[in-house]
Every structure is written in C-alpha cells, then in structure tokens.
Amino acid sequence: MANNDFAGKTVIPFNTNGGYGVGSVFTQIKQGTSGARVLKGFSIKGGEEINGILLAIKGNRRVTVSKEIRTWLTSINQQQ
C-alpha cells in the first residue's frame, strides 16, 4: 500500500474472518493509506476455521448479515 497515492481517496475497509475478529487489519489499512479518508470498517465472522467451517454466512445467517451490512453502509453514508 505504501507505494500508492491515496491523496483525496476514500477507503472503506471490510473483512470476513474465521472467528478471530478484525485484529489489527483496519489499523494497518489506516496507517498504509496516508492522505485517504478512511471510513468506519465492517468485520463479520464468515466461518470458524478452528472447527473446519469455512463459510457460515448462509441460510438465515445470510439474511442477518445482509441487514448488518446495510446498517453499516447507511452509518457511513454509502447506502443508496
């Protein structure tokens, strides 16, 4: 990221994780995108790697996660 020019850009960080949370990735993104406006990030548990579940966003959970994403996008003024 350090070799890119982020001046005047907007960065919207998001991630899925295997049950370990966001960790320091959003902090690293903010530090690596000097000059950018970095909006509030979104992180969602997408699976449970430790239990061999690689994708847990399906069925009813898919509906719940979709609502959470819409709420997040609205909170950062990105929902149309």
* Within a domain: 5: no
pLDDT at 2 > cutoff 70: no
pLDDT of residue 72: 95
* Within a domain: 59: yes
* 72 C-beta neighbours (distance < 10 Å), count: 19
What are the pLDDT digits (tens) for 18-61?
A: 777 788 999 999 999 999 999 999 998 887 777 777 677 888 88
pLDDT of residue 34: 92
* Within a domain: 41: yes
Q: Is the pTM of this model over 0.75?
A: yes
pLDDT at 1 > cutoff 70: no
Domain range for 57 is 10-75
* Within a domain: 69: yes
pLDDT at 80 > cutoff 80: no
The total number of residues shown for the chain amounts to 80
Domain count, the chain: 1
